[in-house]
A and B are shown apart, each in its own frame.
Chain A
Amino acid sequence: MALKGNLRDFTITQLLNLINMAQKSGLLVIEGPGETAKITFRQGKLAYAQLGQDDGSLASILHTTRKISQSQYQLLRQRTSQMSDKELGLLLINAGYLSQDDILSSLQVHFTEIVRRLFTWVEGFFKFEQDIYPPDGKITVRVDLENLIIEGSRQLREWEQLQEEIPSLDMAMKFTERPGTNLRSVNLSVEEWRVVSYVSPKNSIRMIARAAKMNDLEIRRVIYSLLQAGLVELVRAEGTPVAQPGRQFPTQNKDEQKSLVNKLIGRIRSL
């Protein structure tokens, strides 16, 4: 039977675990929020990964993992665009530019980084196709999945906890008025500062995440630390309706309302 489903029911970590245990070979395609990931496995080990619009070429991977500079990258792209990754790899090794280890570890870092990104996807369709591999010219690696699985379950737990703490991204934040909390005296990370600059009842957390280019997990992490530090509190975002359209009291008269509450007090006391 084809292995397919939704991440909501079967998480990335569970998928990796299955692939690892059953020593599966083939292509896992995941259509996540806004982008698609393609991950190849060989006998239960990570072999290759490509995410979204990235061209996945060796040259660009070496560039993002800082094995080559921007100008070297430009040069390679002009001069070697017709070459396969394997050919380019050989060329770089023979020219004494990089070692085989440099190239393989670069690819490993890049591929595992893609898998790590998937841990933050909670929605998305996945499909596993047996015995499909990347094109011949691509260089593949062999990375054990165990560590990724452990990391993934840790993140999943963190994710669940953060969701409990911050159940809705439609809420906004405001600075607490608690005395003694001074923004200038706390050490915030760059990311935290970025979020802090958007704190206002006008901005929902979702809007802030978009503006600060953070995914759900990242924004929740930052907000959690701001909450923990007592710097901000969650409030209803301006413009969203208060869930209180129902009338509280059967009467609009303030004195009657008060007498009603007093009656309730009397009744409860007598219980």
Chain B
Amino acid sequence: MQTVKMVVTGPFNAGKTAFIRSVSEIDVVATERKISSEAEKVKETTTVAMDFGRITVDDDLVLYLFGTPGQKRFDFMWEILSEGMLGFIVMVDSTRPETFREARGILQTFRAYAPTPYVVAANKQDMPDAWDLEDMRVALRLDPKVKFMPCVAQKRDSVKTVLLELLYSILAEMEEGQS
């Protein structure tokens, strides 16, 4: 059995678990736990170790999606998770500009240490107070070349689009490398 993996990362509460859940054929492995700190209590649970989703391609090939834990104190997991990945997706909560800073930090770190293709997803675009993509691109300091697209993590079609864009980038990079 051959396996490949992609990583879904982003700040706390960005929608990483929801994203993986939308396309995984197994229930996302529950490494969630109740949030104790009041400051971060915008929701009941957070991902502590990692999310873990699976998409079977055929008898011989499986794609794993790993979600990084959102809270900063779980930093150490990132490195392990990003080993050998094909590419990664950075989820950003479009409704919470206070997390953009951290998203930039994550992006820079991943880009520097794991030079694989990536895309950035502006999540929660279905919410009324979501920022416009153009504004977010500036706020996130994304280069015009970086693929940046809207996303609604609970909608399978939306997640599919993001995953496909990443795969296209991976393919494009391979072709560049060959020519």
Chain A residues proximal to chain B, CB less than 8 Å:
161, 163-168, 171, 178, 227-228, 230, 233-236, 242-251, 254, 257-258, 260-269, 271
Do A249 and B82 touch (CB < 8 A)?
no
CB contacts (< 8 Å) of B171 on chain A: these are: 258, 261-262, 265
B63, A171: Cβ atoms under 8 Å?
no
Give the CA-CA distance A167 to B11 in the complex, in Å: 13
A265 x B167 contact (CB < 8 A) = yes
Please tell me if the beta carbons of A268 and B160 are within 8 angstroms of each other in the complex.
yes
Known: A227-B141, A254-B174. Contact between A244 and B55, CB under 8 A?
Answer: no
Task: Report if B137 contacts A (CB, 8 A).
Answer: no
Nearest-Cβ distance from residue A160 to partner chain B, whole angstroms: 10
Given known pairs A230-B141, A262-B171, A267-B57, the reply for A164 and B79 (CB within 8 Å) is no
Selected A-B contacts with CB under 8 Å, 17 pairs: A167-B108, A171-B109, A236-B112, A236-B113, A243-B114, A248-B85, A254-B177, A261-B167, A261-B171, A263-B57, A263-B61, A265-B168, A265-B171, A268-B23, A269-B164, A271-B55, A271-B156
Query: Counting chain A CB atoms within 10 Å of each CB, which of B102, B108, B178 scores highest?
Result: B108
Contact B84 A167 (CB under 8 A): no
The dominant DSSP class at the B interface is: helix
Query: Distance (Å) between the CB of B26 and the closest chain A CB?
Result: 14
Which of B55, B114, B115 is close to A267, meaning CB atoms less than 8 Å apart? B55
Known contacts: A165-B104, A230-B141. The answer to whether A242 contacts B61 by CB under 8 A is no
For A236, the chain B residues whose CB sits under 8 A away are 112-113, 115
Which residue of B is nearest A178, CB measured? B143
When C-beta atoms are compared, the residue in chain B nearest to A263 turns out to be B57
B83 close to chain A: CB less than 8 A: yes
Q: Does B37 contact A (CB under 8 A)?
A: no
CB-CB under 8 A from A163, the residues of chain B are 105
- Within 142-179 of B, Cβ neighbours of A (below 8 Å) are at 143, 156, 160, 163-164, 167-168, 170-171, 174-175, 177-178
- B58 at interface (Cβ–Cβ under 8 A)? yes
- Contact check, A271 vs B170: say whether CB atoms are below 8 A apart: no
